[in-house]
Structure 1
Amino acid sequence: MNTSNSENKLIEGEDFYFTAEGYKCFTEKYHLKRGYCCKSGCRHCPYGFDKKTGQLKPKK
């Protein structure tokens, strides 16, 4: 079932932007709104995930 409501819609420039190569890149604001780290090594990860070590960086 495909349910769509305005709470789940992404806003370009706020939740994501397109890179020069045409890829969708999620912003830090989007990641915080989502509420968890997907451990994919995202460019704007606010959770501090390090793809090289596979671990979250310790909070200061």
Structure 2
Amino acid sequence: MKISLSQRKLKDGRISLSIEFYRGSEITEDGKRKHLRSFENLDSYLISDPKTAKEKKKIKKL
């Protein structure tokens, strides 16, 4: 099993974090390879460019 952390920039400037679980692959009846993946959104956001003092303080805390 391979676990990856991915990030995606949202329109409002925050960065959304999610985890990808890769459990390998299998061969289907058609002879094609199917990758077994699942994703989980962490509901955690990073601020890419803090503008207010409150946002800067929150980033320092992390």
When normalised by structure 2's length, the TM-score is: 0.27
**Per chain length, whose mean CA-contact separation is higher, i.e. which structure has more relative contact order (CA < 8 Å, sep 6+)?**
2
When normalised by structure 1's length, the TM-score is: 0.28
Bigger radius of gyration among the two? 2
Higher strand share: 2
